Amino acid sequence: MLLEVRVPLFPRTSQTYLLPTILLLLVSACFAQRTVTLSATNGPPTTKLLVSGSGFDPYSAVDIFFDRKDRALAVTDGNGSFGQTQVVVPGSATPGGHWITAVERYNKLAARNRFLVETNWAQIQFSPDLNGFNPYENVLNRETVAGLTHEWTGGIGSSSYLASMPTMADGLVYAGFGAGLSALSARDGSQFWFYPVDEFVTCTPAVADGMVFFSSENAFLYALNAKSGAFVWKRKIAEFVTPLSPTVVNNTVFVGAYDSSGNAGYIYALDASTGTPLWNYTRASRAFSPPAVVNGVVFAGFLDEVVALNAATGSVLWEQTQTQNGEPSFANGVLYVSGYNGVYALSASTGDVLWQFGSNAEIYAEPSVANGAVYVASFVNNVYEGYVHALDASTGSELWKYDSGSMTFLPFPAVVANGVVYAGVQSNSSGGYIYALDASNGTVLWSGDTGSDGGVSGPIVTNGTVIVQGFRGVYAFDLSSGKAHSNLSPPDPQTLVPDLQLKISRPN
């Protein structure tokens, strides 16, 4: 932008010669102080950002752009600042870097800040309700999933059994192995750090508030710095117990555990910052699942019941003994529970049975729930027969069933993202594969061979990538055309076109 500086016609003294330079320095200083502040620097599509600015001209109209699209109109105050103005990240925004640019409407003075579109799969089954549904995936769909190819393999060591699924948060993939917990780059699988433990990692890690939580077979629950792997705390749950995958909500870690005899089960609540125990619930029945935590209620499955507990106190709200080996997931006020005797839908408020779906196969994993349907993976024990069932969420009637033939589904969930169901399977030759099915009819859209002997876990699907854990490492599949990640250059404010129909936004 050209700047015109008018100098009065005074006699040419040394001070007069300095005046234009001083003015230019003052203007430059003003430019340097123009800033845009965001309420968050990263998040998934549809994130509601609050944008603030300062250093602009007083009482000026300022358009706020997401990339090249005008999303909001603010007005500065007498100090040249505007308050928290809401801008919604578009649902179509692809993973990667994008720009929030604030531009004065009439003179194009501007400032910008970068926002990273990124969806975390930070704990088992995506979120604390354990419903296994990623609502933000916008790269992989029924049409594009066929283009997936193997991108990288990473991880350390090996396991004699597969006890966990990976998680992903803030660009790192976390996976537990026999030797400890690995943190890998979500881009290329390179290892950021490794934390060794004396016994097998027995769970899917959970990431929250800058920490990663996981348990091991020696009855300890660990908390590490998620970026560096530095030790924060560890807590022995109890003697001779095996902890399950933790769920983290509101600075509280909820974790189930069972004793070595299998005749007792527990639910523990611990302070996430310190590991201090808050309460525990004990039952003379093996605990079978990670707890689902929703609206101040903890739902947990045992060998002979599903129980609802007050999340603050651990007091029992209701018990339902009709289910067996319950694995709960929550959606829309209903608790969907899978187990040896099929799938149940329970009222989340009372525990009353709403419907039951029987299955000749055994279901060992949480259901996933999306768009009015419930998806469960099952298998016939000691026989290579595996299935994925799709059920009507309201009635329990079967919508479709996929028969894997000579494949079997290991005890991990089938998960859902953008109209596609993903499940890890094991062949009769012990190879590990991932299948992608059309969520509407069960048609196979894609399958990927991990090359893993002994099968694979259930996958996670986020940011256009499918990630699954095997006995020897972690495997990632991405689109064959390259990573679908944005790396946009900041737009030139002079070329941004304001939307003259926008109304002034009120600061939040």
User: How do 306-310 and 247-249 pair as beta strands?
Assistant: unpaired
Q: Judge if 183 and 40 occupy the same domain.
A: no
Under 8 Å CB-to-CB from 26, ≥6 apart: which residues? none
- pLDDT tens digits, residue range 257-316? 888 766 788 899 999 999 999 999 988 777 778 899 999 999 998 888 899 999 999 999
Q: How is residue 507 annotated by DSSP?
A: P
Q: How far apart, in whole angstroms, are the C-alpha atoms of residue 112 and residue 63?
A: 12
Q: Please report whether residue 489 resides in a domain.
A: no
Q: Indicate whether 402 and 258 sit together in one domain.
A: yes
In a domain, 209, yes or no: yes
Q: The domain that contains 20 carries what CATH number? A: 2.60.40.1930
232: left (phi over 0), alpha (psi -120 to 50) or beta: alpha
Q: Does residue 272 lie within any of the structural domains?
A: yes
For the segment 108-130, the average pLDDT, to the nearest whole number, is: 96
Are residues 431 and 324 part of one domain?
Answer: yes
Between 135-139, 179-183, 496-500, the lowest mean confidence (pLDDT) is in: 179-183
305 shares its domain with 398: yes
Contact indicator for 366, 329 with CB cutoff of 8 Å:
yes
Are both 158 and 71 inside the same structural domain?
no
Return the residue matching tokens 């000749």. 360
Q: Give the predicted TM-score (pTM) of the model.
A: 0.89
Q: Give the residue carrying structure tokens 């001070």.
A: 15
User: Residue 90 — pLDDT band, cuts 50, 70, 90?
Assistant: very high
Better-predicted residue by pLDDT, 411 or 449: 449
Domain stop point among 118, 145, 169: 118
177 in the same domain as 111: no
User: What is the DSSP code string of 188-227?
Assistant: T--EEEEEE-SS-B-S--EEETTEEEEEBTTSEEEEEETT
Question: 73 is in which domain, residue-wise?
Answer: 14-118
CATH number of the domain bearing residue 406? 2.130.10.10
428: pLDDT strictly greater than 70: no
Split into its structural domains, the chain has a count of 2
140 and 67 in a common domain: no
E strands, 14-156, are: 35-38, 42-43, 48-54, 61-66, 69-75, 82-88, 96-104, 110-117, 133-134, 148-154
Please check the confidence at residue 7 and state whether its pLDDT lies above 60.
Answer: no
- In this structure, the answer to whether residues 68 and 194 fall within a common structural domain is no
The residue that leads in pLDDT, 425 or 31, is: 425
For residue 355, being part of any structural domain is answered with: yes
Asked if 90 and 166 sit in the same domain, the reply is: no
Contact present, 240 and 260 (Cβ < 8 Å): yes
Is pLDDT of 5 > 70? no
Tell me which of 118, 151, 181 is where a domain ends.
118
Whole-angstrom Cα distance, residue 418 to residue 142?
A: 8
- 114, 161: one domain: no
- For tokens 């012990």, what's the residue? 430
* Maximum distance among all Cα pairs of the chain, rounded to whole angstroms: 101
Arithmetic mean of pLDDT, 70-75? 97
* 501/72 Cα distance (integer angstroms): 10
What's the pLDDT score for residue 22? 43
